[in-house]
Structure 1
Amino acid sequence: MARTAYDQGRRVPGGAAAEEAGAPSACPVLGTDEAAAYTDYVHTETLLSLQRPRTGEPAELSFIITTQVMELLFRLIRHHWEQARDALEAGDTAAALAALRRGTGPQDVLVESWGMLSMLTPAEFDRFRASLDVASGVQSAGYRQLEFLLGNKSAGMARAQRGLPVAGAGLERTLAEPGLYDAALRLLARRGLPVPDDVTERDWTRPYTADPRVERAWAEVYADERPGNDLLRLAEALLDTAERVTRWRHRHLMAVKRSMGAKPGTGGSSGLDWLARNAARDVFPELWSLRTGV
């Protein structure tokens, strides 16, 4: 019989008869201190105290938990992307590739997390929507950190968080730093590829815009198909990341369309129009556009 992690606890006598009857042959017996160790490490009691619905609508709990799960995933993905960016700045492509690969797992979970809201009907959402007041996902500092790392910088979005000292300071820092794609382009330039200086030393607080000269530099990377071309592996890893971002944006669009149609967003956005424009915007654009000419 295969043993599990839980079988590492102290064994309880059960005997062959119990095992033949289908009962486990071993069971953990925990003392008070042992039982508290897991809760202390994960902060389970604190975590499970943070779901506070404001209405009697049962679907509101699903909405709150899904949103909180997304915020945790934003935090984890940011951790991996910042590691990848810093590794690229240091010229360590192996470490950058490893960090990007680690980031794809939570990205996939993030995309699928919309499934927890897929059955939310317009009537269910309407019964607790007023309790959100002006709260909206567009205000999420965690999500905005990711957008800044992708190159979608906005000084206005950073200023809006200044009332939150920790979140505001984090956004201001990310606003002023090179993003993940910026670090990749700076690496290409250091490797001798023709990425212009006005791209590699630009104003980092401004959003990244596509440049045909950058597309030509990436085209040179793709022209070298040697197995040892780490820049080609980097380009494909960045594209894996970009594709998952677009999937998440599209699932967000469809979830909103299904639950509330074309109503304006609670935070004052245009709702579907804003989400559709965001979903249509390519992440790391030259990695997509060069494919037409390859």
Structure 2
Amino acid sequence: MSAPTSSPPAPATRAPEGGTRSRHVDPTRRQQAVAAWMLALPFVLLFVVFSLGPVLASLGMSFTDMKRTDIRNPFAVEFVGIDNYVKLVQDPLFRKVTLNTLLYLLLGVPLTMAVALVVALGINRVERLKGLLRVGYYLPVVTSIVAVSVVWKFLYRDNGGLFNTVLGWVGIDGPGWLDSTTLSLPALVLMAVWRNFGTLMVIFLAGLATIPQEVAEAAEVDGATGWSRFRYITLPMLRPTLLFGAVITGIGYLQFFEEAFVMTKGGPLDSTRSATYFTFDQFGFGNYGYAAAASYLLFLAVVLLTWVQFRWLGEREAKR
């Protein structure tokens, strides 16, 4: 008798793609999305109410003639289009403060970056007391800007100021630093450089730490001098760090305000009044629409400066 043949096992059925598995996954993803939005909702609401909302409101305000007297009667505000921007371009005082701000920028940014880079290179070569030096040079950054400005105002005094006293030791009659229309702005820039280079110093030290020592050692073995190593190795490898430092420093000098407010009140003869100071004054005068337009011109200047810096310092890196 022949053995009974067993029937072949039934083939295993595969669940169709997008069937049961997808029905189990989709609710989980949906729950995760809902949970994420619930967690982000408080921040989104705070951002809309306290950041995005005021920004859009000030943008709309820049196209109106709103003044302090219109707060109680907002329906009296009239839409004036770009009249505020046209008036700003034609305003001699605004053109003067724009030139002052440009001088702040052109003097302050290169000096701050140069001093910070030199100090960072020096500290990077020191083995002992490196931490103490970093804290000492960074200390002015965390010091109150008002306190720093008051101290430097005394240093710049005609009689009894430190700078004129030192000049008197060598027979030089020191000038009135903050009373001169030609010296007051460079004097403020010098103080700003002293206070702000500590931030860039820390950033440059971090950038220097990323440069491989093997590259510098190989160049030294090949006979490269210190200047050649700095020019062809250190600077190119620091390009992203220099770009970041230039952007944040440039934005800071475009918003130059506290130093002039405390030390010179924008004088003498508006020689130290910046665009930010001008905007502050216009808000104080109650010209809200005019001040909002000035603030958005300053915003456009920040965008333009950042674009130029990215083109200048970031173009070679992009081509590589």
- Using the size of structure 2 for normalisation, the TM-score is 0.25
Choose between structure 1 and 2: higher helix proportion. Answer: 2
Asked which structure has the greater RCO (Cα within 8 Å, sep 6+), the reply is 2
TM-score (norm 1): 0.26
Asked which structure has the greater CA Rg, the reply is: 2
